[in-house]
Amino acid sequence: MSKGPQSSYLAALGIDVYRLRDRPPASIPATPAPACAVAEPAPANDDRWPTLEAEVSKCTRCELHRGRTQTVFGVGRRDARLLVIGEAPGAEEDRQGEPFVGRAGILLNAMLRSIGLARGDVYIANILKCRPPGNRDPKPDETAECTPYLERQIELIAPRAALAVGRIAAQHLLQSDEPIGRLRGKLLSFGARRIPLVVTYHPAYLLRSPSAKSKSWQDLCLLRQLLKSGS
Ligand code: URA
């Protein structure tokens, strides 16, 4: 039986960790960590955050503004070492104005917990700040219009690492059309600053496909190692 302090979170993930604990995922793949030019985090009294948040809240750059209850800007530490990036708000997020607060969010919290991180330790944002109707995939023009907001958040946070959850976020950040099965499980980097990136399955997918949780656990172990190596 798993007895470590993380066991309840791993149980929440539905992950059998017996073999992984005895034989943890070997190490970050041989490829050296990408060079990452780290920007200075914004000083606490910086007005760039409120300016950006106000801009996003009034955004009408794409059609999604017509159907939203409110924008979903992002949540968490603005000097976080880890930035979690999802796809777009769902119904619950649109209602509450916060990313990952529905069932997928509960699982995301457990996934973070399993590697020793509280939700409040990280910053969580989405590619899109408004909910697509019926939770359909983002359209290219929506992604294009919204990306500058995420880029400004990334600039301000200057995270050490990012976790992309789900195909949409991963493919967009990496400008790739590779399937998620080929993007996950390795250390990548994205953007002008080559921020180290780990890709894993979206928690909503994991809720539908519990058999993928063991792979997701491997991704989280890789992320944990990456964060440790930078401390
Ligand atoms: N799925 C996402 O990708 N983001 C959220 O905020 C909620 C569900």
Number of the ligand 1 atom closest to the C-alpha atom of 86? 3
Distance CA 140, CA 60 (A): 16
pLDDT for residue 31 is more than 90: no
Q: Which residue has the higher pLDDT, 118 or 38?
A: 118
User: Residue 32's pLDDT is what?
Assistant: 39
Beta carbon of 98 within 6 Å of any ligand 1 atom: no
Number of the ligand 1 atom closest to the C-alpha atom of 165? 3
Give the pTM. Answer: 0.85
User: Residue 40's pLDDT is what?
Assistant: 61
User: Residue 220's pLDDT is what?
Assistant: 98
Tens of pLDDT along 39-98?
A: 565 565 579 999 999 999 999 999 999 999 999 999 999 999 999 999 999 999 999 999
Nearest Cα to Cα of residue 174 among 72, 59, 34, 74 = 34
Nearest Cα to Cα of residue 42 among 82, 79, 85 = 79
Beta carbon of 9 within 6 Å of any ligand 1 atom: no
- Rounded to the nearest angstrom, the distance between the alpha carbon of 119 and the centre of ligand 1 is 14
CB contact at 8 A, 85 and 165: yes
Tens of pLDDT along 122-174?
A: 999 999 999 999 999 999 999 999 999 999 999 999 999 999 999 999 999 99
- Rounded to the nearest angstrom, the distance between the alpha carbon of 34 and the centre of ligand 1 is 27
Query: What integer is the mean pLDDT of 24-52?
Result: 58
pLDDT for residue 34 is more than 70: no
Chain CA centroid to CA 170, Å: 9
Beta carbon of 90 within 6 Å of any ligand 1 atom: yes
Beta carbon of 89 within 6 Å of any ligand 1 atom: yes
- Rounded to the nearest angstrom, the distance between the alpha carbon of 227 and the centre of ligand 1 is 23
Distance CA 22, CA 40 (A): 39
